[in-house]
A and B are shown apart, each in its own frame.
Chain A
Amino acid sequence: MKKVIMGNHALSYGAMLSRSQVIAAYPITPQTQVVELLSEMCADGTLEAKFIKVESEHSAMAACLGASLAGARAFTATSAQGLALMHEMLHWASGGRMPVVLGNINRAMAPGWSIWSDQNDSLSERDTGWIQFYCSSNQEVLDSVIQAFKVSEKLMIPSMIILDAFSLSHTYEVVEIPEQEKVDGYLPPFKPPFRLTTEEPHAFGGLTSPDHYMELRYKLQKDMEKVPALVDETGREYEKIFGRRLSQVDDYRCDDAELILVTSGTAGYTARVAVDELREKGIKAGNLRIRLFRPFPFEKVRQIVSSAPKVAVLDRNISYGHHGIFYQEVKSALYGQTAKPTVFGFIAGLGGRDITKDHFKEIVEYALSKDKAEEEIVWIGVKK
């Protein structure tokens, strides 16, 4: 069934079709419609789940983790300040190996107050041990929730589904809503190897001495390393059932590209319009959209960008005192490789400022006119 829905509702449908059993959430703009629809679904019985209406995002994640530990599939959604408030519990989720799925609407961090999009909220959580998927369409948002539960529950690592504020969260697009039966075939019920039950009492998360702690973290990393292959495997399986492939990255006209624009989120689609127009003018541009950010898809990124002489990374974020974060990551993927494209870093669109196709043309023009990156950050559209 096709429906015209907003990005936030794509998250709700994804959570519903995944048969989430416990939802705990706290409202924050621009996330509210996600949980409004889910509470309606819980109220009218469309979704058989318990909705815990908590008093903060910190408690939202805490309640989700309690539910997950008890063996229930748990979902929540938040944004910016809410995600930051959850920070402690994000570590708890991955450290405790509780495969919760969280929808995060990318919103700029205050102060000054901003409800508009940038990625500093989710990227500030890149080292918390969560799998991160950045989406560029409402269809991808819905599909990603279902795939994320599958990947997360297989490896017992939580996942974050990330979408831009407004340009995706509040934008209506046609979305194919998969049939419940098919989703059930793809995503089996959650059966964790250990859970909190009186039938088999265990203590979870207790005091862990230096004799044991490191091994627990080693195992988390080893399982994280399995994510890219599992994303491809479950993505192909998804394609067989639903006709849409879900991959680590999404490349567009990159094969013969002289310059590859690396993007994430909705900026990817804008980049593609620019790529097409540039191609018409004879400029061989391509676009690599990074969908899986954590763990970083090193192999895929290397494979795709190594063939191009130049790479321009667009960041809607900044690591203060360093550079754009995707730029750092792409550079680190290429370090020590034989093929070394020249990599340029651009920052645009902070706090919801528009990123247009003209910005991409400006980026391409800059990168093609320079032999090397003269500065680590090229600011796009900043009023200096």
Chain B
Amino acid sequence: MTKEKKMVITIPREELMSPGHLACQGCGASLAMRLALKALGQKTAVCIPACCWAVIDGPFPYSSLDIPIYHCAFETAASSASGVKAGLEMVGETETTVLAWAGDGGTFDIGIQALSAAAERNEDIIYACYDNEAYMNTGIQRSSATPLGAWTTTTPVKHYKKERKKDIIGIMAAHEIPYIATASVAYPEDLVRKFKKAREIKGTRFIHIYAPCPVGWKSQPEDSIKLAKLAVQTGYFPLFEIEDGENWTLNFKVKERKPISEYLKLQGRFRHLKEEEIAIIQKEVDTKWEKTLKKCGL
């Protein structure tokens, strides 16, 4: 008799995000929020700065989330969340998880000063960055999270992005905060597990979520999950955790990485790249992957 394999459902059924939100088709950021809130539960207050989510939530007087939301200024996700946490503690609400939920622009660029300061103070907040690799809410302008080779409206094809994506994980790891993780909407069990784990840890926790954006990436909405999977399978966006700034764990061991070209060719933002340019990107991914493996002790 063959042994029966039972599937265990680890993602809570409870929904804290309603339909009727304003996200585009195939939006990774909206799926990320839905999953994150399933993990964190209703005793969560969120600070959302200027980013796609400032719109996705829905216009006044509506909201698609069943948790309290503070729509804060662009560069203040971390500082606002610090204040909310302190304020809630002073009024006796010590159990509420305070979540800062920002895009890559609000994290890698304009919000990095406040984020670094909050991490240095080890504020008791979860900071989640959903990374769609450009200023998508304002119409696809490059951010420091935009990858090498990508087209955006401010890095036109004739002058596509020549710089590497900023190493936000390296920056956050240097702060030696208790918990850092990367997560992807294509791996919901992993994402939910990480948010659940983060919820139980005190201090600053940083979760970097890969969030496809069909509009900005010139990809098909139905390819969002496929792209998110490929990002992991090519080693472009490895899934790992860092505890106390130094203990790295690779969560998804890719035995044979797929070539980066498979990932790039599904996205119009890379359409202009020639073979030799793709080879450069491949080399970049390889180097980074090796570094990650080394840090994870593999």
Does B70 sit at the interface, judged by CB under 8 A? yes
Does A207 sit at the interface, judged by CB under 8 A? yes
A208 touches B90 (CB 8 A): no
A208 touches B60 (CB 8 A): yes
A67 touches B87 (CB 8 A): yes
* Bound form: Cα–Cα A205–B88 in Å: 18
B93 touches A198 (CB 8 A): yes
A21-B90, A72-B90, A198-B96 given; A204·B69 CB < 8 A: yes
Name B83's contact: one of A55, A62, A195, A198 (CB within 8 Å).
Answer: A62
B107 to chain A, nearest CB (A): 15
Among the stretches A46-54, A226-234, A336-344, the one at the interface with B is: A46-54
Name B65's contact: one of A92, A201, A204, A208 (CB within 8 Å).
Answer: A201
* Bound form: Cα–Cα A197–B94 in Å: 11
A67 touches B68 (CB 8 A): no
Does B80 sit at the interface, judged by CB under 8 A? yes
CB-contacts of B81-137 with A (<8 A): 81-91, 93, 96, 113-114, 116-117, 120-121
Does A328 sit at the interface, judged by CB under 8 A? no
Which residues on B sit within 8 Å (CB–CB) of A206?
A: 54, 57-60, 63, 69, 71
CB-contacts of A81-125 with B (<8 A): 88-89, 92
Does A151 sit at the interface, judged by CB under 8 A? no
A49 to chain B, nearest CB (A): 7
Binary interface profile of A, 58-77, with partner B (CB < 8 Å = 1, else 0)?
11101111111111101000
Does B290 sit at the interface, judged by CB under 8 A? no
A72 touches B86 (CB 8 A): yes
Which residues on B sit within 8 Å (CB–CB) of A212?
A: 60-61
B103 to chain A, nearest CB (A): 15
Which residues on A sit within 8 Å (CB–CB) of B70?
A: 66, 69, 196, 204-205
A22 touches B87 (CB 8 A): yes
- Name the residue of chain B whose CB is nearest to the CB of A21: B90
- Name the residue of chain B whose CB is nearest to the CB of A49: B90
How many chain B residues touch A (Cβ–Cβ < 8 Å)? Answer: 47
B121 touches A52 (CB 8 A): yes
- Name the residue of chain B whose CB is nearest to the CB of A100: B83
Does A24 sit at the interface, judged by CB under 8 A? yes
* Bound form: Cα–Cα A197–B44 in Å: 9
Does A281 sit at the interface, judged by CB under 8 A? no
* Bound form: Cα–Cα A54–B73 in Å: 16
Does A303 sit at the interface, judged by CB under 8 A? no
Does A209 sit at the interface, judged by CB under 8 A? yes
Name B71's contact: one of A52, A58, A205 (CB within 8 Å).
Answer: A205
A55 touches B116 (CB 8 A): yes
A198 touches B69 (CB 8 A): no
Does A306 sit at the interface, judged by CB under 8 A? no
* Bound form: Cα–Cα A50–B60 in Å: 32
Does B42 sit at the interface, judged by CB under 8 A? yes
A22 touches B83 (CB 8 A): yes
Does B67 sit at the interface, judged by CB under 8 A? yes
* Bound form: Cα–Cα A49–B91 in Å: 11
CB-contacts of B32-49 with A (<8 A): 42-45, 47
B84 touches A69 (CB 8 A): yes
- Name the residue of chain A whose CB is nearest to the CB of B16: A201
A208 touches B59 (CB 8 A): yes
CB-contacts of A16-71 with B (<8 A): 21-22, 24, 49-50, 52-56, 58-60, 62-71
* Bound form: Cα–Cα A357–B70 in Å: 51
Does B76 sit at the interface, judged by CB under 8 A? yes
Does A383 sit at the interface, judged by CB under 8 A? no
Does A382 sit at the interface, judged by CB under 8 A? no
A203-B69, A206-B58 given; A71·B76 CB < 8 A: no
Name B68's contact: one of A49, A59, A198 (CB within 8 Å).
Answer: A198
- Name the residue of chain A whose CB is nearest to the CB of B43: A198
B44 to chain A, nearest CB (A): 7
Does B55 sit at the interface, judged by CB under 8 A? yes
CB-contacts of B179-214 with A (<8 A): none
B90 touches A204 (CB 8 A): no
Does B241 sit at the interface, judged by CB under 8 A? no
A234 to chain B, nearest CB (A): 24
B99 to chain A, nearest CB (A): 11
* Bound form: Cα–Cα A206–B66 in Å: 14
Does B79 sit at the interface, judged by CB under 8 A? yes
* Bound form: Cα–Cα A22–B90 in Å: 8
A50 touches B90 (CB 8 A): yes
A72-B90, A196-B45 given; A59·B71 CB < 8 A: no
Which residues on B sit within 8 Å (CB–CB) of A202?
A: 63, 68-69
A63 touches B80 (CB 8 A): yes
B61 touches A52 (CB 8 A): no
* Bound form: Cα–Cα A196–B75 in Å: 20
Name A196's contact: one of B62, B68, B79, B86 (CB within 8 Å).
Answer: B68
- Name the residue of chain A whose CB is nearest to the CB of B41: A198
- Name the residue of chain A whose CB is nearest to the CB of B74: A88
* Bound form: Cα–Cα A195–B61 in Å: 15
Which residues on A sit within 8 Å (CB–CB) of B45?
A: 70, 196-198
Which residues on B sit within 8 Å (CB–CB) of A88?
A: 73
A66 touches B81 (CB 8 A): yes
A207 touches B66 (CB 8 A): no
CB-contacts of B122-180 with A (<8 A): none
Which residues on A sit within 8 Å (CB–CB) of B96?
A: 197-198
Which residues on A sit within 8 Å (CB–CB) of B86?
A: 22, 24, 50, 52, 63, 66-67, 70, 72
CB-contacts of A189-240 with B (<8 A): 195-198, 200-209, 212
Name B79's contact: one of A63, A70, A204 (CB within 8 Å).
Answer: A63
What would be 15 A-B contacts, judged by CB atoms less than 8 Å apart?
Answer: A24-B83, A62-B76, A66-B72, A66-B84, A67-B86, A70-B90, A71-B87, A72-B88, A196-B45, A198-B44, A202-B68, A203-B69, A203-B71, A204-B70, A207-B60
With A52-B82, A67-B87 given, name 13 new contacts (CB 8 A): A24-B86, A58-B79, A59-B82, A63-B80, A66-B81, A66-B87, A69-B84, A92-B73, A203-B63, A203-B68, A204-B69, A209-B59, A212-B61
